[in-house]
Structure 1
Amino acid sequence: MRAGARRRDARRRLRAGRRAGGGPEAVVLADDGDWIGRIASAGPREARDDVEFCDPFVVLYTSGTTGMPKGVPVTHAHAITAGGVWAEFMGLGVQDRLYTCLPFFHINATAYSLSGALVSGAALAVGPHFSARAFWDDVAALGATQINGMGSMVKILQGRDPHPAERAHGARMMFLAPLPPDAAELAERFALEFTTTYAQTEWLPSSLTRPGEGYDRPGGTGLVLPCTEVAIVGERDELLPRGTVGEIALRTHEPFTAFTGYLGRPQESLEAFRNLRFHSGDLGELSEDGWLYFRGRAKDVIRRRGENISAMVLEDLVAGHPDIVEVAAVPVPSQLMEDEVFVYVIVREGAELAPDALLAFTREILPRHMVPMFADFVDDLPRTATNKVAKTVLRERAERAVREGTVRALG
């Protein structure tokens, strides 16, 4: 049976099961005959009594968006605590069915979808991969009440023409990071509410928003949670006052519920966990009312004309153009020392955007030092295995394009 036919047959059987008042506790929408298709029918195994809460549950790898991926042994305590905190904050229970199409080598699917279902008693629905065309049909067919995703997935769905399936799915919330700048409009379009968090492969969720919260707080990731301590530190690890951007540094309150070291990389582990705090490599700030704001990767900063430019902020602002679906900004060497700004732009299907129009738009909305020098209009962006934009690949491409003269300066 072909993959498409298998998916349609799975949806038909799932709908029939719900009409009869039944339905499996775990459902898998498989597109092949591989191991994933056997998860739904797997029986329980005898519990082991030699496993401790501090033992590794799984080794997950960081995304590698700005460098080489690193292996992170995730303990049982880490995974279960993360799932429990998240499920409680989301208000999940036995009445829910959690949908994910993310790979289980990603912390989102493992610590939130899987652990969240185990802790809350909710059912788990697993899609084989992300498909923009089939996404809402899969969510509806599997009877999902909650969806786990990535910010890039929403960007792709947003770029498609509106369709009735976007609102006929039955899910009430979607958990993703980061929260899109136009979350309120997308929530209305997709008939659900968004939630977000600040977390990493190495760490528990440090902050969370409740469904529908934080739409008017750009970069906001919610109130800091009781399970962790968040500090904003400067270049010498000094504590910075609230409202000041610095590196996000973390401590946990319970043993073995977070980062214990990178697999086979003791020196990098020591560097990351210096001065009794885990240094996230992310930029952020704490507000007076206790919200944590994410301001981008510390390594994802472009230095131009003596100013530091957050690539994330620049990308969000340029993506505000009605004909732009997604933007990725990277630095390229400047003849004047420091960097120039190079942006990759994906234009909405059926739309046209000339380089001159892009330049005029950026000059209107951006400070002078943030206006891109170069732009490349592309159909897609290279991504890591966890669907994040691969900035290292883009930087290499951009530097080569400028060096070889295959891209022209704007203006």
Structure 2
Amino acid sequence: MDEQNLAQFLVRRIEKTPEKVFLRFEEQRVTYEGLYKRVARAAGGFSELGIGKGDKVCVMLDNSPEYVDVWFGLTCIGAILVPINVHLKGAGLQYILTHSDCKAMIVDEMYLARISPCLSSLPKDVKIMIQTKDQAFSYSNRYSSLKDIFTYSESEWPSLDFSGVAINSILYTSGTTGPPKGVMLSHAAYINAAQAFSERMVGVRFDDTLLTTLPLFHINAQAHTVLGGIHSNATVALSKRFSASRFWEEVCYHQATIFNSLGSMIPILCKQPEQENDHDNPARITACAATPERFWKQFEERFKIKIVEGYGLTETSGFCVSNPLDKRKVPSIGKPFPFVETKIADENGKRLQVGEVGEILIRSLKKHTFMEGYYKMPDKTEEAMLEGWFRTGDLGYADEDGYMYFCDRLKQCIRRRGENISSWEVEKVINAHPKVLESAAVGVPSEVGEEDVKVYVILRKGEHLPYEEFIKWCEERMAYFMVPRYVQYVDSFPKTATERVQKFKLKEEGIGNAWDREQAMGRIEKK
């Protein structure tokens, strides 16, 4: 496996089923043979532009066939893809563009206004290619059209003379503290992740269609849907983004049998108005992470789709733990893949007993299947490791059968009056309220030291929930020390493109204008 690079992996799959449809996107269809031709043109175009082995290319595009062409075109010449979250702007965007040492950038026209202020911090020879549908788009000396890359006449792939352990991409994490870290993933890591997902986690069949609404700047869509589909010579269906109101229409339109989801998507879909034909869809499996236990059975019974719960991080090349298809345990995240070892440990790395909560540590038993480190951050790479184990920063426990359970982010635990409070447990109770759509719990400074619990709550459309009624619900369902002191109703949360709530931004707001239970209840009692 170490000797095979991702380009060679692609060629072998393309040769098996050249006439089969590889990609469905809106009304477009691309066969495996068509993919070969598109990638050959892209690779030739990039080479003509002077991009070569080891060069970093930042890509800020929405999901599209062109994104796939760019990724694989760069792959064929040994260049390195640096996917950019399309929601980034300002200092966060500028940091990645500068830190990544990119030689070129590929940007959708709609994001050009965000890129422009960052250009002064980049070398003047950085090439910028714009994707646009406007034929009359005006280009300056620094800009060119991405279409020029795809019009290159090359019909054959270039010589694939680089190792499978070479870096294929640098994915910047959206961590909760400090600047983003660039996770370096090798060709071998992607190939291994695709195989493990396809064969072990969901059992992809030749006639399957794998749909993703997750972005291609994320490891999930890349390694599992796109490459997982290619590994089994299945069909991949790509959506621009997740839309609850259009989701099942897309599933049916593409005849998708497998789709990847995130925990937040499951309750959002469950809270859509029920339809008589909810179960009338072609999907049989969704590969998910962080599924709320309350919605697990409800989702499966309503939509007749099996949830396969798993766990992984960008650093582990995506899923590395999952429930066996035939022996699932709700709400477990499952067991480690055969090439992965896990343990629940205390702060010193000592293995804890069954049922004890500690940090989830992971290590791969196969070389080059996890990250090769953080780009230009050897100190952070060293900090993330403990005697060969990767420190996930997540809390969990294992049962007597070896199944693992996620509890919370280690840094999202709230410390109040000597008690460690799981934000996940607080949110679980609050999200069960029929008037609540979504919630997020964080710790805010307390006048007596440590923290108090603050919750941000999004109510369902048209609902009204008095604070006192909300608190009563919590008091009846959670330990006294978990009951929120501060409550703030909001319309939305700051989120990453993969629907993770950016709690560090909520914490930065502090108490703000939140309703204060202790102050309000005190006034009520005095009356």
Give yes or no for contact 2:63–2:240 (8 Å, CA) kept in 1: no
Cα deviation digits, residues 306-337 of structure 1 (max 9, x gap): 00011112211221222222110001101110
TM-score where L is the length of structure 2:
0.68
- Unmatched 5+ stretches in structure 2: 1-18, 29-60, 70-149, 522-527
- 2:414 aligned partner: 302
* Whole-angstrom CA distance in 2 between matches of 1:68 and 1:165: 46
Count of aligned pairs between the two proteins: 382
How far has the Cα of 1:122 moved from its partner? Answer: 1.3
How far has the Cα of 1:346 moved from its partner? Answer: 1.5
CA spacing shift, 1:125–1:273, aligned 2, 3 Å: same
How far has the Cα of 1:177 moved from its partner? Answer: 0.9
| 3-state SS, counterpart of residue 317 of structure 1 | helix
* Whole-angstrom CA distance in 2 between matches of 1:151 and 1:135: 15
| 3-state SS, counterpart of residue 83 of structure 1 | helix
Give yes or no for contact 1:54–1:76 (8 Å, CA) kept in 2: yes
User: Does the alignment pair 1:77 with 2:74?
Assistant: no
The structure 2 residue matched to 1:24, chosen from 13, 16, 21, is 21
RMSD over aligned CA atoms reads 2.4
User: Does the alignment pair 1:143 with 2:232?
Assistant: no
Give yes or no for contact 1:193–1:212 (8 Å, CA) kept in 2: no
Cα deviation digits, residues 286-320 of structure 1 (max 9, x gap): 21101111111110110001000111122112212
- 1:16 aligned partner: none
CA spacing shift, 1:60–1:166, aligned 2, 3 Å: farther
Q: Which moved more, 1:331-340 or 1:183-192?
A: 183-192
Give yes or no for contact 1:147–1:174 (8 Å, CA) kept in 2: yes
* Whole-angstrom CA distance in 2 between matches of 1:315 and 1:162: 24
User: Does the alignment pair 1:409 with 2:516?
Assistant: yes
- Structure 2 counterpart of 1:83, one-letter code: A
* Whole-angstrom CA distance in 2 between matches of 1:58 and 1:380: 32
Alignment of 1:323-338 (within 5 A): 323-338=435-450
* Whole-angstrom CA distance in 2 between matches of 1:382 and 1:216: 29
- 1:3 aligned partner: none
How far has the Cα of 1:374 moved from its partner? Answer: 0.8
- Unmatched 5+ stretches in structure 1: 1-21
* Whole-angstrom CA distance in 2 between matches of 1:267 and 1:363: 44
The structure 1 residue matched to 2:341, chosen from 208, 211, 229, is 229
The structure 2 residue matched to 1:396, chosen from 499, 502, 508, is 508
How far has the Cα of 1:236 moved from its partner? Answer: 1.5
How far has the Cα of 1:179 moved from its partner? Answer: 1.6
CA spacing shift, 1:264–1:34, aligned 2, 3 Å: closer
**Larger RCO, structures 1/2 (Cα 8 Å, 6+ apart):** 1
* Whole-angstrom CA distance in 2 between matches of 1:164 and 1:51: 54
User: Does the alignment pair 1:188 with 2:304?
Assistant: no
The structure 2 residue matched to 1:99, chosen from 196, 211, 216, is 211
- 1:318 aligned partner: 430
Alignment of 1:73-222 (within 5 A): 73-89=184-200, 90-164=202-276, 166-181=278-293, 182-204=295-317, 205-210=319-324, 214=328, 216-217=330-331, 220-222=332-334
TM-score where L is the length of structure 1:
0.87
* Whole-angstrom CA distance in 2 between matches of 1:257 and 1:203: 7
* Whole-angstrom CA distance in 1 between matches of 2:390 and 2:481: 32
- Identity, in percent, stands at 34
- 1:355 aligned partner: 467
How far has the Cα of 1:400 moved from its partner? Answer: 5.1
- Structure 2 counterpart of 1:275, one-letter code: E
Give yes or no for contact 1:100–1:127 (8 Å, CA) kept in 2: yes
* Whole-angstrom CA distance in 2 between matches of 1:359 and 1:62: 35
* Whole-angstrom CA distance in 2 between matches of 1:80 and 1:44: 25
* Whole-angstrom CA distance in 2 between matches of 1:59 and 1:171: 32
* Whole-angstrom CA distance in 1 between matches of 2:64 and 2:388: 41
Give yes or no for contact 1:355–1:375 (8 Å, CA) kept in 2: yes
User: Does the alignment pair 1:64 with 2:175?
Assistant: yes
- Structure 1 counterpart of 2:184, one-letter code: P
User: Does the alignment pair 1:46 with 2:157?
Assistant: yes
Give yes or no for contact 2:229–2:235 (8 Å, CA) kept in 1: yes
CA spacing shift, 1:271–1:172, aligned 2, 3 Å: same
Cα deviation digits, residues 171-227 of structure 1 (max 9, x gap): 11111211221200111122211112111000143311245864633xx10122211
CA spacing shift, 1:318–1:214, aligned 2, 3 Å: farther
Give yes or no for contact 1:30–1:127 (8 Å, CA) kept in 2: no
Which structure has the larger Rg over C-alpha atoms?
2
* Whole-angstrom CA distance in 2 between matches of 1:97 and 1:76: 24
* Whole-angstrom CA distance in 1 between matches of 2:428 and 2:197: 26
Give yes or no for contact 1:332–1:395 (8 Å, CA) kept in 2: yes
* Whole-angstrom CA distance in 2 between matches of 1:128 and 1:30: 13
- Structure 1 counterpart of 2:310, one-letter code: T
Give yes or no for contact 1:176–1:196 (8 Å, CA) kept in 2: yes
| 3-state SS, counterpart of residue 280 of structure 2 | coil
Give yes or no for contact 1:344–1:378 (8 Å, CA) kept in 2: yes
- 1:55 aligned partner: 166
